[in-house]
Structure 1
Amino acid sequence: MEFPFDINVLFPDRITVLDQNLTTGRKFLGRPDHQHQIATVIDELGKASAQAQDLAAPITSAEKLQSNRHYLYLLKNGEGNRGRGVAVGYLKVGFKNLFLLDQQGAHVETEPLCVLDFFVAERMQRHGYGLELFRFMLRNKRVDPVQLAYDRPSPKFLSFLEKHCGLKDAVPQVNNFVVFDGFFRNRSAVPVRKVPPKKPEGEIKPYSLTEREALREEQKALPWPFARPQAPPHSPPLSQNSACSRSLSVGSSPTRAPLRLTPASGAYRGQAPQNQLIDGVNYRARRTSSLNRSRLSFQ
């Protein structure tokens, strides 16, 4: 892909590695427009890649590269375009946290290096540029092709991996990523998180206001005769220190005043002394005996 500016000035090496800072390691003396030109190259290559893969929108752009910790390997041909260089293609990689299925169907949580986008210009294909770019990334990251996860690879890319890397036995996944047999070597499966069972209605605490209100609203929604009247709420406990405390229950009588000892008599206030109780019992017994004698005399 040709541009109206010099590619060789922007990208010093044949394959240049760009990060989120869009820097190439070369100091641009007095040329603030070079950063804008680098962004232009990335954006145009991203649009061409989306068009080649029939995507609705580009998945690679300078803005997306700046907002993510991805790495873009850009390949150029420095002799093309009358010595100003030609952008051949790029390869974008980055780490992703993924939940994948192994050969036994168990979930594996892993964060592998992923190939996120791979593009070589149409008229530059079948010249070995793609293989050169891919092998450079493998050496730079010190990784084997089977250890990578591939994000939505095109049919051409799958054929490329089978031809040059021998990767053809893909493990089926439920997401857009493709991994091959051998990816799960030295990776252990993790159990799926179980959802706690729903608490039965019989375990609802009677003093929990929140659960009581929720149950009341649920029973209001039930049709007759399934709706049942609610029992009155429990009364709060009474304080034993208050002498004038009364029960909050309907129809209950006031509580008696607490019994207290008087210094003089030693008896409880509100209760008759013991000798008075004994005299009352003797008086009732004598009166009953007198009445019985009177009845006998009349007979």
Structure 2
Amino acid sequence: MDFPFDINQLFSERISILDQNLSASRRSMERPDLQVQISAVIDELGRASAKAQQLAAPVTSASKLQSQNHQLYLLKDRESGGGRGSAVGFLKVGYKKLFLLDQHGVHVEAEPLCVLDFYIAENLQRHGYGLELFSFMLQHKNVEPVLMAYDRPSKKFLAFLAKHYCLVQSVPQVNNFVVFEGFFLNRSAVHLRRTPLKKPDGEIKPYSMVAREVVHREQRTLPWPFAPPQSPQRSVPSQCSHPVRVGFSPSRASSPVAPSSPLGGSRDQIERYREKRSRYRS
């Protein structure tokens, strides 16, 4: 991909690593005009990548790279473009926290290195540039391709991974990322940890919705002494309890006694007492 300015002046290395600073060298950091040209190269490559993948909007742009903690590997051809060089393609990677499903369907939280965008100019594909760029990234990051996640890979990219790295069997996911078998084997390499399953909602007890509502309703409508005493904890009313009535305390209402006389004894005791008195008088 050619540009109306000198690519070799912007990028001194064959593969340059760009980050939030959008600079490939100290010289480009000190010159605002070079920063503008670097942004133009990134934006143009991002639009070409989106068009090739039939995306509605570019995934890669200079502004997005400045606002995200990602890295972009840009490959150039020094000899083309009339000696000014040309941009061959780019590869953007970054760490992302993902919630994935392993082979057994268990949710796992991971933060692997992800391939977020990968593009080689159409007229330069099948010339080994993609393999050169991808291999450089793997060596720079010291990571195996099976331990990476891939964001919405195209059919061409999947064929590339299958051909060069034997990544064929993927583990189905519910998001846009693709991971392959072997990703979950080395858990420490990709910072995996199982996420606790959501505790299922327990069965609602009858008292929790019915009896409590009755208690609250009685407290709102009944005056003292019908209303129960205020307490931070309320127990479930027993089915054997008796209703509270005027003139009876709650303790006496629950344990009825035999009727008594004014003297406080039973009828048999009163009769014997009267017989003794009549004997003494006689």
* TM-score, normalization by structure 1: 0.68
The separation in 2 between residues aligned to 1:184 and 1:47, in whole angstroms, is 34
Amino acid at match of 2:133: L
Gap change, CA 1:60 and 1:234, over 3 Å in 2: farther
Q: Where do 1:139-288 residues align within 5 Å?
A: 139-187=139-187, 189-197=194-202, 200=205, 202-203=207-208, 232=221
8 Å CA contact 1:93–1:116 kept in 2: the answer is yes
Could you say what the CA RMSD is over the residues aligned between the two structures, in angstroms? 2.7
Matching residue's letter, 1:190: T
Map of 1:130 onto structure 2: 130
Quote the Cα distance in structure 2 between the aligned partners of 1:231 and 1:30: 76
Paired residues of 1:12 and 1:26 also in contact (CA < 8 A): no
CA distance in 2, matches of 1:170, 1:85: 38
Corresponding pairs, count = 222
**Cα drift, residue 12 of structure 1:** 1.1
Q: Where does the alignment leave 5 or more consecutive residues of structure 2 unmatched?
A: 188-192, 231-245, 247-282
Q: Aligned partners of 2:107, 2:29: CA distance in 1, in Å?
A: 52
In the alignment, which residue of structure 1 is the partner of 2:276?
A: none
User: Structure 1: 5+ residue runs without aligned partners?
Assistant: 217-228, 239-251, 253-299
Paired residue for 1:220? none
- In the aligned structure 2, how far is the partner of 1:102 from the partner of 1:177? 13
Structure 2 CA distance for aligned equivalents of residues 195 and 10 of structure 1: 58
Contact 2:95 2:113 in 1 (8 A): yes
Q: Which structure ranks higher in relative contact order (CA pairs < 8 Å, sequence separation ≥ 6)?
A: 2
Q: Which residue of 2 aligns with 1:10?
A: 10
Letter in 2 for 1:202: Y
Consecutive aligned runs of 4 or more in structure 1 exceeding 4 Å deviation = 198-201, 204-208, 233-238
Deviations 1:25-72 (A, max 9, x none): 332487321111111100000000000001111011011111110000
Q: 2:143 is aligned with what amino acid?
A: V
Task: Tell me if the contact between 1:74 and 1:90 (Cα under 8 Å) persists in the aligned partners.
Answer: yes
Q: Share of identical aligned residues, percent?
A: 60
Aligned: 1:121 with 2:121: yes
Q: Tell me the alpha carbon deviations over residues 79-134 of structure 1, each in whole angstroms, 9 at most, x when there is no partner.
A: 11111110000000000111111111111111000000000000010110000000
CA shift at 1:205, angstroms?
11
Letter in 1 for 2:146: V
The answer to which of 21-30 and 180-189 deviates more is 21-30
Distance verdict in 2 for CA 1:230–1:171, change over 3 Å: same
TM-score, normalised on structure 2?
0.72
Residue 45 of structure 2 corresponds to: 45
